[in-house]
Amino acid sequence: MVATTSLVVGSFVWVEDSDVAWIDGAVVEVNGEDIKVLCTSGKTVVVKAANAYPKDAEAPQCGVDDMTKLAYLHEPGVLQNLRSRYDMGEIYTYTGNILIAVNPFRKLPHLYDSHMMAQYKGAAFGELSPHPFAVADVAYRLMINEGISQSILVSGESGAGKTESTKLLMRYLAYMGGRAAAEGRTVEQQVLESNPVLEAFGNAKTVRNNNSSRFGKFVEIQFDRRGRISGAAIRTYLLERSRVCQVSEPERNYHCFYMLCAAPLEDIQQYKLGNPRTFHYLNQSNCYELDGVDDCKEYIATRKAMDVVGIGSDEQDAIFRVVAAILHLGNIEFAKGKEIDSSVPKDEKSCFHLRTAAELFMCDEKLLEDSLCKRVIVTRDETITKWLDPEAAALSRDALAKIVYSRLFDWIVDKINSSIGQDPDSKFLIGVLDIYGFESFKTNSFEQFCINLTNEKLQQHFNQHVFKMEQEEYTKEEINWSYIEFVDNQDVLDLIEKKPGGIIALLDEACMFPRSTHETFAQKLYQTFKNHKRFNKPKLSRSDFTICHYAGDVTYQTELFLDKNKDYVVAEHQALLSASKCSFVSGLFPPVAEESSKSSKFSSIGSRFKQQLQALLETLSSTEPHYIRCVKPNNLLKPSIFENKNVLQQLRCGGVMEAIRISCAGYPTRKPFDEFVDRFGLLAPDVLDGSSDEVAACKKLLENVGLQGYQIGKTKVFLRAGQMAELDTRRTEILGKSASIIQRKIRSYLARKNFIVLLRSALQIQSVCRGQLARKVYEGMRREAASLRIQRDLRMHHARKAYKDLCSSAVSIQTGMRGMAARNELRFRRQTRAAIIIQSQCRKYLAQLHFLHLKSAAIATQCAWRGRLARKELRKLKMAARETGALQAAKNKLEKQVEELTWRLQLEKRMRVDMEEAKTQENAKLQSALLDMQLQFKETKELLAREHEAAKRAAEVVPVIQEVQAVDHVMFEKLTSENEKLKAMVSSLEKKIDETEKKFEETNKISEERLKQALEAESKIVQLKTVMHRLEEKLSDMESETQVLRQQAMLKSPVNKVSQYPPIPVIPNLENGHHMDEPNTSNEPKSVTPVKKVGTQSDGKLRRSNLERQHENVEALINCVTKDIGFSHGKPVAAFTIYKCLLHWKSFEAERTNVFDCLIQMIGFAIENEENNVHMAYWLSNTSSLLFLLQKSLKAAGSSGTTPSRKPTPPTSLFGRMTMGFRSSPSSNNLAAAAVLAVVCQVEAKYPALLFKQQLAAYVEKIYGIIRDNLKKELSSLLSLCIQAPRTSKGNVLRSGRSIGKDSPSTHWQSIIDNLNTLLSTLKENFVPPVLIQKIFTQTFSYINVQLFNSLLLRRECCTFSNGEYVKSGLAELELWCCQAKEEYAGSSWDELKHIRQAVGFLVIHQKYRISYDEITNDLCPFVQGKVFLLGCLGSSCSGYD
């Protein structure tokens, strides 16, 4: 292919480049064998003339569709032609009858639609643009016309588009050979739909391709005599089994695993799958998804394709069950067992996956574990069970996964073949071969070895075909030719597959020896092929070897050659899966007869693959081959990128360069006569004069030039390699001479033209310059006159301005000097007056200081004298007190015990009196309610009797309607629970009374009598409530009967149909949240009764829809108010929302509804977090507001009747007192409540509404108690610390106790104040009613009073003057807090501290012995009474102050 003629300056050539492989340029200098070339990129290079290739300067920019038409058929010419066509969007190019397809990496639907197939149908080869449809059409026409089977070989590296090209070929063949109409699935449909099924289980993402076929495929499409598809068969070769267990970054496993993990939820749950990141066989790489691919949609499409190819739904489930089992197998990890070199599942997760895999395989879990962790060795005498270590067990697990997946893939292929069916009467076939291209990676294993062997075999077949085509071309043109030698790769094939000394034979031999390793196998190769020219040993490796293939050198690593070559199934795995309960799994592993297994020879993957490859080549040899070479333009898998070096390497690996070399060995340049004459006619112009015979003209032209070795065919001129370049060189010389003459004439013409233009321009410039000079002189004269005038005016202006500035400066200086003199005089007078005042004050201070010193000295002397007298008096008193000390101590102890018992007895009496009062009030209320109910019952009974008699007379013909028992079980259960609560309360009271009886025997009889009375009152309360509820139920039943009888009497017609549901009253429109009064509905019943009423079917449907809508509304309400929705203008939004919804739904008037139960349950769940005071305050505000609204809007049924009004009893419950507080306190919140009451409408409430009000009141008290108890818990730990002063020096406490108590209280009292402030701010922020806030703080202050007072009584050391001062200062802080909180929130809290205030006041009194008992009990401590003596005794004994 190298030019044999010398190059001249100006010739266009191709030179090698390290970046883009080949770069074009022009020769600028020739130095013997070296030439200097100026490249189009701008750089200049010096190369050997023998290494430069001529460039066809007249080649079309868009390239040629058949590269045999190129003037120069060499590597750079072919590469440039492909690039030019790729840039123009033309991805297909012919090289003779070989189609080269460049992957565009984008969708081109317009190239493959039915319209395009119709265009190529019957078109001659080369008539239309290159296309796979043209190759398929040629094969189909040859088969039909000549009766010869055809084959189409598609090859290329991964990502070049082999699979897509195969699909296009099969589509066109199905289009040509398909039937017009057929029942069910046609053969062509099954053949086409087999592609997505095989891609799902045989394709995966690799480094070079997102959908790489990891197996070879040969599809035989059979045709009948009429050219219709009658059958098909698919053969697969060398599935990459190791990918199931080993995936490298950034590749993926087979598509089916990811499809199954993205399947619909029911399938994922069925197979117990999840995210692919959780499976070991999938998470070895971080690539889980493909761009633009939805695995879920692909899973559904694969299922549909399985249906088309004849795989049933049961078989599909079994297939994906096996795939899921393989994923679970991969997650089984092993750890060391108890025995030596044994293994067991690592953890619970591994046991789960083991159990799941056994369930999916439908085999025994224990047997599956044993097959992975043990091996059974059978000898002549015995059977030995061998344990496997964790690493061997993991290898056993992977071996099982690989053999199961391989058997599954083979079963799918066999199923597709059996479903499609083969035609035994078929005479012709077209085979489409989609097989892997030449591969060379950093790590090349057994798979790459077999793939490259396949490509070597196919390359030999391709070379022979190309050589045959060359010979046919020469014979067709009837030229003289001799045998053309081409490089044969038979030596490489002998190196690999020759017996007995080939690599495969040595590999099989090594596999049969159990002690063979990859190192021994490599050493055997080194010894056998050390002198082979195609075999090399790498220098830095001990087990690798290199083979020189036709496409380049490839180094193989032998580490896994022996394991991957072994084609056997572990006996334990075979026995386990053949015994599976699943027929599909057992069918994958049919039982093997013992005799056949013993008599069978060793079988290997390499030998079996070599046999399959030989059968494939025999099939191809019996057919007429057609070739499609797929090329990947770049490794980025992106469109519009063409990498020259990558494409050139693929052309070499695909044999295209070898085909070109074969062509160049003969006559590579072939030009039709007309083109040859048009291009080279200028070399001999006399030949063309008066001659019309192009053949004769070509002969004379070549004779004149003097070329030797060319051939003249029928239609073309055949030139040897280099002759085209020689002709171009001579043509270039003639064109160069002609160009020189043309340039000379053109230059003279251009010079004369430029001179004339220059002369005219000079004249114009001179005239313009003269005019410009005159204008400049005139302009200078004008500027001089103007400047003189400007200077005169400017000098006058500057003189005037200087005079004005001088005058103003003089005036300013005079003013400043006069002002400064006046200020100095004023400053002197002020200093003199200030000095006189300072002197007088200083003299006064000195005289006063002398007087104070004299006074303090006199007082100190007096105090010292009085102290001396006092100490003498104290010594006398101590001497007298020693004699009576023992008697005084015993007396104090007895008085303390008596006072304590007396106080406790009074407290117990007060509690019992309060309880008796509460019980008496409750009994009175219940008795009054019972009397009311009895009166109502009597009146209703009389009215019912009269209406019953009237209804009987009016409804004699009406059929009897069955009564429905209306028993409210929910109410019954609630009453039972309340009864149990009362019993529990009684039992607790009994326990307290028993404890009290032991301490206070004198009050035993009185306590028993009161306890009996309380029990009798409680039983009466329960009985009265039960009777009242029964009367209410009977009353409601009678009202419902009366309504039914009235309706029957009015209708006077037989009942047609009984509706299933009670009618739901139509809710009228609302205005501002209140019901509109309608005159037409005044006589209708407002309550829903449990009696079935008459209705039609449409009414029943309407009621059901209303019920469903009501349930949805209730759920929406609960979801809304459960959240903290805040307040609006001081009103809780949740409470008003609930109230308006209940009012809107008429829930207060319904006899049966579950709305209140849902609300009560919601409130109960909301207050479970009892420690959060903010949350509790929020719900206390909402529940109290809602209860207040219910209290004002609900009235009991029959309250507007004839019962006489009685004076309301004073409220005993918390909410009753709260309501009274609302009426009395004029706060802003109460004004808002009054505004709310102004718009509240009165509603006649039924029993559920009244019960809801009682339950809501109970929740208000509960929340109130929780907040109060939380505050008490926080204060209890601080109160014990507040009773005793801090431990400072005794003298300092005695001398400065008052100042400490007033000015700096302890941090414990400050913590109490902080807790009170926090709670108060929380309650204010949540707009809790002030009545409740007063009650909380009143009870809290009462608790503080009791705790501090009891601590003083029980702790003797605390009854001192210093502790009294300390507690008094803390009480002053509490008093200040009450004043700041105001009476609206603090209420009477300060009054609750009366006991501790008086006790502390007594402790801090000086000279207590001078105060009489009457003064203490009446004036100082009226509430403490006798306990003050105990305090006084304790204080006098513990304090040294008094």
Q: How many residues does the chain have?
A: 1442
406 carries an active-site annotation: no
| 212 in catalytic set | yes
Quote the CA–CA distance of 78 and 83 in Å, as a whole number. Answer: 9
Q: Which of 158, 236, 1362, 1363 is catalytic?
A: 158
Of the residues 97, 103, 212, 1219, only one is catalytic, namely: 212
Residue 1301, number of CB atoms within 10 A of its CB: 22
Catalytic residue among 11, 95, 163, 253: 163
User: SS3 of 380, please?
Assistant: coil
Cα 592 to Cα 397, 407, 511, 588, 616: the distances in Å are 21, 15, 22, 12, 28
Find out whether 44 and 15 touch, Cβ atoms under 8 Å: no
Distance between CA 82 and CA 99 in Å, rounded? 12
CB of 190 closer than 8 Å to CB of 239: no
Outline where 498-643 has alpha helix (H): 503-512, 518-528, 561-565, 571-578, 583-588, 594-599, 605-621
Catalytic residue among 439, 470, 572, 1041: 439
Indicate if 1184 belongs to the active site. Answer: no
Residue 526 region by backbone torsions, left for phi larger than 0, else alpha for psi between -120 and 50, else beta: alpha
Catalytic annotation, pick one of 63, 77, 156, 159: 159
User: What contacts 632, CB < 8 A, 6 or more positions away?
Assistant: 103, 156, 157, 158, 159, 160, 161, 208, 209, 646, 647, 650
From edge to edge, which strands make up the β-sheet containing 669-672? 669-672, 716-719, 711-712
Nearest to residue 1087, comparing CAs of 1032, 1136, 1137, 1135? 1032
Is 155 in the active site?
A: no
Respond yes or no: is residue 89 known to be catalytic: no
Residues 657, 668: Cα–Cα separation, whole Å: 13
Tokens in use for 1247?
């029993």
- Give the Cα separation of 1181 and 285 in Å (integer): 59
Indicate the angle between helix axes 1330-1354 and 1361-1386, nearest 10 degrees: 170
Collapsed DSSP state (helix, strand, coil) of residue 636: coil
- Helix, strand, coil tally for the chain in percent (to 5): 65, 10, 30
Tell me if 363 sits within 8 A of 581, measured CB to CB: yes
- Phi and psi angles of residue 412, each rounded to the nearest 5 degrees, phi first: -65, -40
Q: Which of 209, 452, 1322, 1363 is catalytic?
A: 209
Report which of 189, 190, 192, 212 is spatially closest to residue 202, judged by C-alpha positions: 212
Largest CA distance in the chain: 172
Cβ contacts of 503 within 8 Å, gap of 6 or more: 449, 495, 496, 497, 525, 529
Would you say 1090 and 966 are in contact if contact means Cβ atoms under 8 Å apart? yes
Does residue 1243 come out as left (phi exceeding 0), alpha (psi in the -120 to 50 range) or beta?
beta
Is residue 127 annotated as a catalytic residue, yes or no?
no
Catalytic residue among 161, 202, 231, 437: 437
Tell how strand 1243-1245 and strand 1194-1196 pair up.
parallel
- Structural contact between residues 374 and 385, judged by C-beta atoms closer than 8 angstroms: yes
Whole-angstrom Cα distance, residue 499 to residue 1410? 136
Q: Are 1442 and 1436 in contact, with CB atoms under 8 Å apart?
A: yes
Encoded tokens for 831: 């200093």
Amino acid found at 1077: D
Of the candidates 3, 4, 26, 14, the residue with the CA atom closest to the CA atom of residue 736: 26
Distance separating alpha carbons of residues 199 and 434, to the nearest angstrom: 12
DSSP 1110-1172: HHHHHHHHHHHHHS---EETTEEHHHHHHHHHHHHHT-TT-SS-SHHHHHHHHHHHHT--TT-
Which of 213, 440, 1338, 1389 is catalytic? The answer is: 213
Rounded to whole angstroms, the Cα distance separating 917 from 924 reads 11
d(CA 1030, CA 1024): 10
**Residues acting as catalytic residues:** 158-159, 163, 209, 212-213, 437, 439
